[in-house]
Amino acid sequence: QVQLVESGGGLVHPGGSLTLSCAASGFTLDYWTIGWFRQAPGKEREGVACIGSSIRNNDGRTYYVDSVKGRSTISRDNAKKMVYLQMSSLEPEDTGVYYCAVTYRGTAQDMCDATPTNQRFDYWGQGTEVTVSS
């Protein structure tokens, strides 16, 4: 059974840091492009950070949306079937439900730039909630 399970969310003060984790099971992670997405209250879901597959298409680059660039790092451990999103200097605008997703098509930028209508990725997790508030 294919599954993606996010963890690591919670309440964080502005300026704080956290690391989100996504555990994959039921498939081989190596060949998939992986992304973190978030949906803030009242807003559409948006891509945050994505990482390609160096094995499938020789393109393991990362891609970040402007709002998190410089203060976020996405990484993957294919052997452990884990994906991580480290975020620092958190802002109230980072509040939302964070989801991980995988796709067998496209690059990291393709994935992160997909509009909500085009976010038809192969698998999604259930999400983990992050609240940035004082």
What pLDDT was estimated at residue 58?
Answer: 72
Angle ∠(12,15,21) on CA atoms, nearest 5: 50
- CB neighbour class for 28 (10 Å; exposed up to 12, middle 13-18, buried from 19): exposed
Report the relative pairing of strands 96-103 and 123-124 from DSSP bridges: antiparallel
What pLDDT was estimated at residue 105?
Answer: 87
What pLDDT was estimated at residue 89?
Answer: 97
H/E segment holding residue 48:
strand 45-51
What pLDDT was estimated at residue 67?
Answer: 94
What pLDDT was estimated at residue 80?
Answer: 97
User: What are the backbone angles phi and psi of residue 29, rounded to the nearest 5°?
Assistant: -70, -25
Per residue in 57-100, pLDDT (tens digit) is: 777 899 999 999 999 999 999 999 999 999 999 999 999 999 99
Instruction: DSSP letter for 92, please.
Output: G
Poorest-pLDDT segment among 57-61, 101-105, 122-126, 128-132? 57-61
24 vs 61: CA distance, rounded Å: 20
Residue 44 has pLDDT above 80, yes or no: yes
Cα 79 to Cα 28, 39, 59, 75, distances in angstroms: 9, 29, 18, 12
